[in-house]
Structure 1
Amino acid sequence: MFMQPYLSVIICSHNPRVHYYERVLKALEFQTLTDERWELLLVDNASDKVLASEIDLNWHPYARHIREEQLGLTHARLRGIKEAQSDILVFVDDDNVLDPDYLEIVFKIAKNWPIIGAWGGQLRPKFEIPPPAWTEEYLDMLAIREFGRNKWSNLTSILQNGAIPVGAGLCVRKVVAEKYADLILKDPKRSTLDRKGQRLTSCGDLDLALTACDLGLGTGQFTELGLTHLIPAFRLQEDYLLKLVKSTAYSFTVLRALRGEAPTLPCYSARLYQKYAYWRMNSRQRRFEKARQDGFTLAYQEISTW
């Protein structure tokens, strides 16, 4: 007889790398938390090949393939939230290799920290190729998080809350996830904040995490919780990172507006300083700064039409 699981592990995937998926699933197969205590939901988000015919989940007694035809990471997450049967949801990307005790620690945190509604842990990178030295200042945009102490906050401001977990390995209480789904239903603009096909828009994970604070709970990051983030070579190419910087600046600005922190244009003296700083940059840094400014401007123009 199937008991209600402690946790629901939700993998949202669109045209995944097969050899990455093998490592992701193998890490899940050898979790210290027994299979009977968690369910596995693989949400196939309109992949070209139906993942149910490509990926075997028979090793897990409570695994399900779910096909979501509406393209976009947000729609895949919402489908996972709807299908999940437990009170704690764990979102695992299709390039996340969990530590063997990840799910066991998630359950302990959920039990010991009832005031925390959304949390995450250490995100250690595993690069396909060594990253070039110039990429160092942009690597945190690739969901890499390494820290030395636990952090938590209950501030609803995205600029003031210093303990917001990102989507890789994100853990949320079902009540938070359902509130987030309700927010999107009331304001569909929120559904544009995440990946969709080749688009690199983001920040839906931050919106989801901050919903915990909207409910009077908190967000947290815990040192004992960890996973390995597999990073392919193409994500270290300049063209990709430029696109990522622009998309992130756009998404972050839109999220601030959606959460009541609408940004303003810099004052005259700030613009003068920006120009001064810009011309002190090398050519590559200028390209990245222009991408950031382009993303902000695009979002600002869009927000002004709301």
Structure 2
Amino acid sequence: MISVIVCTYNRQEYLPYCLKYLANQSADNNNFEVLIIDNNSTDSTANIAKDFIKLNPQLVVKYFSEKNKGLTHARNRGIKEAKGEILSFIDDDAFVDYNFIKETKNYFDENQAVSAIGGKILPVYEVKEPKWMSKYLLTLVAALDMGNAPKKFKGRKFPIGANMAFRSKVFKEYGLFNTDLGRRGDVLEGGEEKELFLRLKKHKEIIHYVPKVKVDHIIPEKRLTMKYIKGLGIGVGSSEIKRLKRAGKTKWINKILSELIKITATILLFFIYLFKGRFSAASMLIKFRFWVLKGMLKKKNSLTI
């Protein structure tokens, strides 16, 4: 069975549609359960979830209120409450494909060596796609499209939290999400997914990209503002330092080298986009890299390392 875990926080405008698509699946209803993890919402989330349960008695749907603030706490609560052999995580503003459950089940059944997967995430903009968007910044809107063929996540590439799934044994063997990382309310830190996937890769676990496991991900206008992107960049930087606070000297050296490579690549891309006449895309690449570095330096100064 597949447990679909929907962690939610004050998304009353999107949650009903997220649940609606889960209720309309090609798979047999006995093949999955839906767990709604409410992380201290102050809107109508609880009523939406309870109404959905009443209106869909044919489905196995459970509602839980997680009082510990933070996405990682909500995800870990979902893991503890789940009954499935496969645990699938989607965002509360992600709308699953009609064959989402079926394709998830089939892939894990047919690929027994695979421990985790990440599906295709297509951005759906509520307003026009910003001029500054480029394929190098798609992760800012939690989008992922690596083509139409399954493949292994190589190197430091990994799935995105809006659409990822694991065999339940992964969490028994390697532990839960790191609660020092991740979003807490409106604090735009992250890194918990990256830390977990790096943990799995360290132990040679196989992680695949599966394009047929698809979701549409709503991108509201407020997530495209400079204020939001700046906060996201600073959050990415501070999360990286927090993730490495107990790391050894070698990892710190590797991180510094990695950042130098990213800075060099960003400068190169800046001139490429500038040459193409895409000034907005060029400047955003520089701005975002600056904000990430700002977050790293700010957090580094506030931590004892």
Normalising to structure 2: TM-score of the pair?
A: 0.82
Aligned-partner Cα distance in 1 for 2:117–2:247 = 19
Match of 2:243 in 1: 255
User: Contact 2:223/2:229 (CA < 8 Å) preserved in 1?
Assistant: yes
Aligned-partner Cα distance in 2 for 1:254–1:61 = 40
Q: Give the C-alpha shift of residue 24 in structure 1.
A: 0.8
Match of 1:8 in 2: 3
Q: 1:161 aligns with which of 156, 162, 165?
A: 156
Closer, same or farther in 2 for the Cα pair 1:181/1:145, shift >3 Å? same
Where 1:134 maps in the other structure, the secondary structure is coil
Where 1:176 maps in the other structure, the secondary structure is helix
Gap runs ≥5 in structure 2: none
Q: Give the C-alpha shift of residue 291 in structure 1.
A: 1.1
Aligned-partner Cα distance in 2 for 1:287–1:214 = 32
Where 2:27 maps in the other structure, the secondary structure is coil
Where 2:101 maps in the other structure, the secondary structure is helix
Match of 1:41 in 2: 35
Aligned-partner Cα distance in 2 for 1:140–1:83 = 29
Q: Residues 1-306 of structure 1: matches in 2 within 5 Å?
A: 6-16=1-11, 18-49=12-43, 51-55=45-49, 56=51, 57-58=53-54, 59=56, 60-136=58-134, 137-148=136-147, 149-153=149-153, 160-162=155-157, 164-181=158-175, 190-255=178-243, 261-262=251-252, 263=254, 265=256, 287-302=287-302, 305-306=304-305
Q: Which amino acid aligns with 2:150?
A: N
Aligned-partner Cα distance in 1 for 2:293–2:232 = 13
* Bigger mean CA deviation after superposition, 71-80 or 113-122: 113-122
Q: Which amino acid aligns with 1:7?
A: I
Where 1:26 maps in the other structure, the secondary structure is helix
Where 2:179 maps in the other structure, the secondary structure is helix
Gap runs ≥5 in structure 1: 1-5, 185-189
Aligned-partner Cα distance in 2 for 1:126–1:132 = 12
Aligned-partner Cα distance in 2 for 1:273–1:115 = 37
Q: Which amino acid aligns with 1:95?
A: D
Aligned-partner Cα distance in 1 for 2:91–2:247 = 25
User: Contact 2:100/2:213 (CA < 8 Å) preserved in 1?
Assistant: yes
User: Contact 2:16/2:48 (CA < 8 Å) preserved in 1?
Assistant: no
Aligned-partner Cα distance in 2 for 1:259–1:191 = 17
Aligned-partner Cα distance in 2 for 1:90–1:203 = 18
User: Contact 2:39/2:74 (CA < 8 Å) preserved in 1?
Assistant: yes
Q: Among the aligned pairs, what percent are the same residue? A: 26
Q: RMSD of the TM alignment (CA)?
A: 3.1
Aligned-partner Cα distance in 2 for 1:217–1:82 = 21
Give the total of aligned pairs: 285
Closer, same or farther in 2 for the Cα pair 1:23/1:221, shift >3 Å? same
User: Contact 2:132/2:284 (CA < 8 Å) preserved in 1?
Assistant: no
